[in-house]
Amino acid sequence: MTRNRFAQACVAALLLIGSWSAAGALPASASDAPSPAASAASTGSASASPGLLRAMQRDFGLSRAEAEARLAAERRATELVPEARETAGAAYGGAWFEAESGKLIVAVTSDAGDSTVRALRASGADVRVVEHSARLLDAVKSRIDRLNAPAGVSSWSVDPAANTVVVNVVRDQRADSGVRRFVTEARKAGPVTVRTVRAAARTFAAGTVGGDPYYTGNVRCSIGFSVHGGFVTAGHCGGTGAGVRGWDGSHIGTFQGSSFPENDYAWVNVGSGWWTVPVVLGWGTVPDRLVRGSAEAPIGASVCRSGSTTHWHCGAVLAKNETVNYSQGAVRQMTKTSVCAEPGDSGGSFISGDQAQGVTSGGWGNCSGGGETWFQPVNEILNRYGLTLHTA
């Protein structure tokens, strides 16, 4: 947010910097149970703003009608995922949103009964039969989590569409002996596919520069979503007890809790004239958005991000529960996206429609040449610290 915008809209200042700010991920070791905020997702979300539709058209190459249809289909898919998981039971193989058909695809193993398949199809999902269950693939991924990953291994996660665990290796380090040993051990754990990426993952904190961020020490990051009493952000931006300053240098609060690596989440209390509101900053690209809940979008769904460096960008959810191998150590339970980000975006927010998704942690690439970015699911952070998302 610009300085004069801050002066004009001080009531919205905190969350405006936060919700749409990009950069800070937080894979948590908290319970997988959804936070109370997730249930606040409205089944009849307000229609998308013109600015959001324009961003979808720009970043996905859609017409306005296509963007509206995709957002509506993604809302239906998001609501269907928990029901599909329960219906499939032990035969559940994962789920993802397919943009081409506008449907949720639910994978099931061959031992799923005919009645189960019929129930899934009746709910509006398409069904694919796969060899491995989600439970088996999750167990394989957990075994790989116990290995020591060299720098040439970027990340690993379950890919439900490919029905395998994908290990991502930096392209020019494929022949490294440590990488080859890791891949050999990973394949012993179960079904594994190796893919290559252009560069290793890194966090998106930055040295102090001008803009509308927050500062801790000489590091600049972006505020994430407002919660009652403060805001959530990335753990790598500051340790517990560290002071936080706003864009104008005034004191905001202190880190009340922080974890990195293993996780990448934190929360900051708010005082000294700062307060929170359920708004996400659009940076002039789209109108500022209200946050109405935190229902988790499926793989394949669109997601948008805004940060103090690169402002507003959109992409798709590529993977969930991915372990990211930063130079500082592995961070788990991350969500991977095709959205770009750059230094200074750490700690900011990812949102799908009006539903909070998470805060940016790191990635590779930039917003000129493209790349991938990971975020920590916001419900993990809320559950870990007992926080309540500030919603409209």
Active site residues: 236, 264, 346
User: What whole-number distance in Å separates Cα of residue 83 and Cα of residue 125?
Assistant: 11
User: What whole-number distance in Å separates Cα of residue 227 and Cα of residue 208?
Assistant: 25
Tokens linked to 24: 């800070």
Contact 240, 249 (CB under 8 A): no
CA distances from 31 to 35, 258, 320, 347, 382 (A): 9, 17, 16, 21, 10
Chain-centroid distance of CA 318 in Å reads 10
Tokens linked to 105: 């695809």
Q: How many CB atoms lie within 10 A of CB 336?
A: 24
Specify the residue for token string 């989590």: 145
Handedness of CA 151, 154, 156, 162 (dihedral sign): negative
Tokens linked to 98: 């397919």
The length of the chain in residues reads: 392
Specify the residue for token string 């979808």: 56
Q: How many CB atoms lie within 10 A of CB 218?
A: 9
